[in-house]
Amino acid sequence: MKLKFLALSLVVALALSTVLPAGAAGSITVKPSAMNGWGFLLESGANGAGDFVSGPGAVPLGTGSVHLTLGSSSDGMLIGVAEYGGTRLGDITTLSYSTYQSVTSTSTVQAISLQFNIDDDVTDGDIAWKGRLVFEPYYSETVTNGIWQTWDALTQGRWWATGATMNAVCSIATPCTWSDVLSNFPDAGIHSVFGAVQFKAGSGWPAGFDGNVDAFTIGVSGDDTTYDFEPETPCTTVCYADAVNGNDSFGGDSPASAKKTIQAALDAVSPNGTVRVLPGNYDETATNRWVLGTNGPHQFGLFIDKNGVTIQGVTAGDVPITDYNALGANVTTNATNNFGASGIFVQGDDVTIAGLHIGPNIPGDNKTIEIIGDGFTLKDSHVDVPGGGSVYFNDWQFDTINDVSHLQSYVIDHNLIDQNTSIDITSGAGYSGPVSGRRITNNEFINAEFWPSISFNGSGTGVPWFVQSVGGAVIEDNTFTNTFNGNDVRAGHIRVRGDVEVSQFDWTAYWNDNTFNKAVVTLVGAYPPFDVREYNYTSGTYSFDVRRIGVSIQGSVDVATAGDTVLVKAGTYEEQVAVDTSLTLLGESGAASTFILAPSTIPIASDPESNIVKITGAGVSVDFSGFTVAGPGPGGCGTINAGIFVRDDAYANIHDNKIVDVRDDPFSGCQNGVAIQIGRASLSTSGTADISDNEISGYQKNGVTVSNVGSSATVTNNVITGAGPTTIIAQNGVQVSGGATAEINGNTISNHSYSPGSYTSTGMLIFAADADTYGNTLSENQTGIYHIEGSGVHEANVLNVSTAGTGSPYLYGFVIDAPPPGLKPAPFEDAGLPEPLAAINSVSTLSSAVQDVDVLNNELTGDGSSASYGIGAYGGYGALDIDLTVKNNKVFNFGTGLDIYQCTSGCTTSVFTNVVVNLNSITGNTDYGLLNTDAIPVNAELNWWNSPDGPAPTGSGDEVGGDVDFTPWLCNGTDTSADTGFQPNVLTDCYGPVVTNVYTIPTVVYLNGWIWVKATADDVATGNANIVSADYNVNNSGWVPMWAWDGTFNEPNEKVKALFKATTPG
């Protein structure tokens, strides 16, 4: 080592060194990594040098010495220490050192001199510079080259001074003994300010001087300190690197003697040794390196060619770092090799890198770490390359003759690998050897690009550097985060492409034994089993057969074939998904944790592609479950159409999902935002679906829409929740329209109300369509079920509505027929139609010219407000006549229980062909139980009107108005069944005047061919014995048994009844 320290003067240089540790009694080793206050100074000239060396020869102390050389006669080179300031010369009790002059040295007289920065009187307070006091042995001793000589400066040689005062007595021409100095200058000492002790060669000596100094001892008042000058101890099994305090000239054997660069430590360490890397920023360059001894020269950042070497990051206290979040050593590299920059090149086998923060390759990133050796381990580290790097396995030593890998094993464990950096296994790596020896475990991968975090690249792709097949690895307990939202055939977490050992890839374990922020896989056929679909893509002239765990749903749908399963991990997927292949699309963990979100790039609502999920294509059948499909759109009015759209004659089974917030942002009054859309008349497209067990809420317009001829759906067991009372838009929970058909069963539909009332919101809106409903629960909908211009059976539904819950000026349970003025629904349809009902004016798509509606076994409950109606039927507003049957319902607490109205002015030609209201419980309605303003009578017999004496005005029950035949009525309101609706005891009816005498033929009423005969029988002819039977006879056609009113003939007076078919009135 050659050290050159340049300064204007020694005084300045050593005065600045006074912050260094003071000497102390005992022995102090001085070496490059532990100078202990000593320093080199080229005081004059330009070619002097100083360093620490081993020897020469048998040194007097330790194994080495300080070496000083002069290149010219003007050079002056010294080593000194800024110590002992203020020490009186008279207190120095020991002063000795040893020198050596090389046999090749040009000087045969001079030995290295000892010099003090002197003060002739340290007691006088004068601290001006006083020059030096110089000891030279040759004045009294013979200096011999080629041997070590020891000088006692208190008894040998002579002293001379450079300062004016002392020079007058002890000059270079008339030097003094030590005794002479003390006697002439009793208060002389080492300068208190500029004090220093140094060894110097030169300043007028012959060029080519070559000498050494060692074993300097100075004693003050009897306390001796010996300075042992030593070279560094070369590290072997353990070498240290310290970017902050190290020097590549240091030996590296301890933290104090650490080398500055990791590469210097690698070059020094022995095979199977360890390089311990202290905290700091390392900028690494390894030049003139040859791969496998023949390929080069190359420049890498780090080059590791020794087997068994470990590079271990440590704390400042030399404790190995095992937490990649608490790293201290940051490594950047400067590779320029011509086969794709390899920042760190690992040629040796069984190499370990641990506890390092590995950054970019400054000239350009390609392969952050390239490994061609077997048994490599990367652990506890952070690979942090902006823009992405690669941990690249490449078997340069593959045995092509025997088809055997050299690189058979590796471990990547507990690392943070982020910023799109990948692990890439290529060209024969792992083709041979057990899979258990190749482990990628406990890592955290963070990626925002299409390139997979782990990629296996086999042969057969056309890529010239993928020349052999590769084998699989154990991949478990990793955390994968990839925020890439695009659709790229290459995108994924784990990918295998080309020719590989297929049996070595355990895809089930890869899927189940790692954690993903999102992940999608395409499986062959039904799931289980877990058989990953292989697909092909091309890139230029290259062709890749690929299996992968992907990051986007669309990307996995695109590679599926008919019958496949696309399995989706819990996560958030911000993308539009279009499915045109029959498959199962399954959210593995269910809707609570698997989200498909509308992207910010979704087209505006008027665009047919403005859907989060689209299922399309004739013959396509899709099972879709386990997702939350969510908006909102990216902005205000008209930014999103539908959550799920089934079109073009496709079929979907949509179940066990959540469809939420399909709306503008903010929520607007624009007529878009349908959670589930099946077909669409305005686009002349149809679809079919089973929609079951979903939660649907937060939509802007409709929860479910089934539209157009050919479209049909079963809507079952869903929870559909509107926005509640709102002044912004009239919503519909379920809409069936435009000639579509539907079965709507077992749903819970609530909170649809447009509080201004100019349009009505509905729980279900069925118009120009046929649909049946069964077992639904509807609450706080402005209108519960609105059926316009279509037929259907509405059975076993429960409807509850209140002014408080809807904020509406009016309330309806059911509405049948086209809307009368003031009760207009607002169906979903294309923007730009002049009237919301424009699409329903034609009934050519309906299955019948009569609107045949049955309302059976329902329970309707209002809040008693005057403008509330349990069932409203309105004729003369639409194109179809109405046949209405209302049976076995409970209608409770409305202003009007049933409102039957026929338009009389400005009407269409449609009328009621039949209205039957039987076997209902009509109670607690504040204005009317039933109000008929139609021209035909309403058959309202056998209803319970909340009183045994029948309805008002003749009785005290709920009032009837208009032409209503309510006789007979039910005398008892007991419901005989726990089922929904009203199941009365038909034997508890009341009739009016009772006909006595069993032989009396009562006056009966002709009812469409059926006659009820009721009478009171008494057996006076036989002495009031108990009656045991009763019969009736019609026109002498024969006697037919009758029934006892109470079910048993056991009294002398019995009420009896019979029901028979009459052929003529009578």
pLDDT (tens digit per residue) in 232-257: 999 999 999 999 999 999 999 999 99
Tell me, what's the pLDDT at 1031? 65
- Tokens representing 622? 């899709």
Contacts of 282-290 spanning 24+ positions with Cβ under 8 A: 282/241, 282/243, 282/329, 282/330, 282/331, 282/332, 283/332, 283/334, 283/362, 284/331, 284/332, 284/333, 284/334, 285/333, 285/334, 286/345, 289/345
Tell me, what's the pLDDT at 833? 30
Q: Which of 416-430, 889-903, 957-971, 986-1000 has the lowest mean pLDDT?
A: 986-1000
Rounded CA-CA distance 1019/498 in Å is 102
The answer on pLDDT for 845 being more than 50 is: no
Rounded CA-CA distance 28/50 in Å is 19
The answer on pLDDT for 599 being more than 80 is: yes
Helix (H) / strand (E) containing 730:
none
Rounded CA-CA distance 921/940 in Å is 11
Q: Note the pLDDT tens digit of each residue in 704-738.
A: 999 999 999 999 999 999 999 999 999 999 999 99
pLDDT band (50, 70, 90) for residue 1017: low
Q: How many CB atoms lie within 10 A of CB 976?
A: 12
pLDDT band (50, 70, 90) for residue 1016: low
Tell me, what's the pLDDT at 821? 79
Bigger pLDDT: 878 vs 344 = 344
For the chain, what is the mean pLDDT?
91
Helix, strand, or coil here: 267?
A: helix
Q: Note the pLDDT tens digit of each residue in 912-951.
A: 999 999 999 999 999 999 999 987 899 999 999 999 999 9
The answer on pLDDT for 831 being more than 50 is: no
Reply yes or no: is the peptide bond before residue 464 cis, omega within 30 of 0: no
Tell me what the mean pLDDT of segment 494-506 comes to.
94
DSSP symbol at 1008: T
Q: Note the pLDDT tens digit of each residue in 74-132.
A: 999 999 999 999 999 999 999 999 999 999 988 878 899 999 999 999 999 999 999 99
Residue pair 945/913 in contact by the 8 Å Cβ criterion:
no
Reply yes or no: is the peptide bond before residue 175 cis, omega within 30 of 0: no
Give residue 726's identity as a one-letter amino acid code.
T
Residue pair 492/519 in contact by the 8 Å Cβ criterion:
no
pLDDT band (50, 70, 90) for residue 1059: low
pLDDT band (50, 70, 90) for residue 490: confident
* Residue with token string 């080519």: 208
The answer on pLDDT for 739 being more than 80 is: yes
pLDDT band (50, 70, 90) for residue 1013: low
Tell me, what's the pLDDT at 415? 98
The answer on pLDDT for 1007 being more than 50 is: no
Bigger pLDDT: 991 vs 559 = 559
Tell me, what's the pLDDT at 3? 32
Tell me, what's the pLDDT at 841? 39
- Tokens representing 459? 């042969």
Q: Note the pLDDT tens digit of each residue in 680-690.
A: 999 999 999 99
The answer on pLDDT for 1005 being more than 50 is: no
Tell me, what's the pLDDT at 681? 96
Rounded CA-CA distance 782/763 in Å is 8
% of the chain exceeding 70 in pLDDT: 90
Q: Note the pLDDT tens digit of each residue in 297-316.
A: 999 999 999 999 999 999 99
Tell me, what's the pLDDT at 996? 38
Tell me, what's the pLDDT at 131? 97
pLDDT band (50, 70, 90) for residue 860: very high
pLDDT band (50, 70, 90) for residue 1038: low
Q: Which of 21-35, 90-104, 907-921, 1010-1024 has the lowest mean pLDDT?
A: 1010-1024
pLDDT band (50, 70, 90) for residue 999: very low
Rounded CA-CA distance 322/420 in Å is 23
The answer on pLDDT for 997 being more than 50 is: no
Tell me, what's the pLDDT at 995? 36
Q: What is the pTM of this model?
A: 0.81
- Tokens representing 303? 């080059």
Q: Which of 31-40, 330-339, 564-573, 1035-1044 has the lowest mean pLDDT?
A: 1035-1044
Residue pair 679/685 in contact by the 8 Å Cβ criterion:
yes
The answer on pLDDT for 1024 being more than 70 is: no
Tell me, what's the pLDDT at 1026? 72
Q: What are the residues facing 426 on neighbouring strands?
A: 394, 457
